[in-house]
Amino acid sequence: MPNTGKIALISALFLTPSAYAAEGDSQWNGEAELGIVSTSGNTETSTINLNTKLENVREQWKLLFLFNSLHSSSKDNSTAERYVLVAKSDYKIDADSYAFGRASYEDDRFSGFEYQATEVLGYGHKIIQEPTLKLDFEGGPGMRQSKVANTSSENEGILYLSGNLKWDISPTALFTEDLYTEIGEDITITKSVTGLKSQINGDLAMKITFTAKHTSKVPALKKKVDTETAISLVYNF
């Protein structure tokens, strides 16, 4: 299946339930994040990091769309290029529990994989729900498709586990920690994103994030651990 077809499939997989469409009132919110880093002198590099988040909340349903792109170049050569799309749907069971479906697609031109895609169905629980502190846990089974250049796509079952922490340190500062692991038959992927967002004025904020990703099995000549530090401006809408 072409890459564009896969993106369309996973985007629609969990996000068009008829029960969701039947609900009336809804609330939309989102944020757009842009980070630019450049250096000159002995090395001349530029990096552009773009993240967008769109969320729709109704009485029983919550939909979440995430898009991330990263492009880094040194002089005339591209040194990093990545595109990630995540689509997620939550169905509220009670005040603290929900069922979810999650689909993701990642195209990282320098990882050794042509693409990696996952589909997961699972259960989530809100462990802590305080005014300034929130902690959620999610888990469930799923499938992952991985393709290395010049090979056929490989499918494997996975166990998806994640934890998400949000801590309002002050009225203008938010600390977040998003950690997930995909435990597969052949490959286990673990990713941590630690962030600190500070409100500047109105809907504008500054954000610092540190991302670490470990892949237990990678193509030849590729490293198992990737890290990334980003400083970005965030616009909330």
Give the model's pLDDT for residue 20: 53
Helix, strand, or coil (residue 219)? coil
Give the model's pLDDT for residue 9: 46
Which is nearest to 107 in space by CA: 152, 77, 147?
147
Residue pLDDT, tens place only, 110-143? 777 889 999 999 999 999 999 999 999 999 999 9
Inform me whether the pLDDT recorded for 175 exceeds 80: yes
Give the model's pLDDT for residue 153: 84
What is the pTM assigned to this prediction? 0.85
Which is nearest to 180 in space by CA: 139, 142, 147?
139
- CATH code that applies to domain 3-17+24-236: 2.40.160.40
Q: Is the pLDDT higher at 179 or at 81? A: 179
Inform me whether the pLDDT recorded for 41 exceeds 70: no
Buried b (16+ CB within 10 A) or exposed e, 158-177: bbbbbbbbbbeeeeeebebe
Residue ranges of domains in the chain: 3-17+24-236
Q: Is the pLDDT higher at 42 or at 172? A: 172
Instruction: Return mean pLDDT, the chain.
Output: 87
Give the model's pLDDT for residue 81: 87
Q: What is the mean pLDDT of residues 168-189?
A: 96
Q: What is the mean pLDDT of residues 94-122?
A: 93
Cβ neighbours around 105 below 10 Å, total: 22
Residue 135 and residue 128 in contact, taking contact as beta carbons nearer than 8 Å? yes
CA 206 – CA 183 distance, rounded (Å)? 33
Half-sphere exposure of 205 (CA within 13 A, CB side): 20
Indicate the Cα dihedral angle 193, 162, 164, 215, nearest 10°: 0
Amino acid at 212: A
Max avg pLDDT among 14-18, 47-51, 64-68, 112-116: 64-68
> Where does the pLDDT of residue 150 fall: very low under 50, low under 70, confident under 90, or very high at 90 and above?
confident
Give the model's pLDDT for residue 8: 45
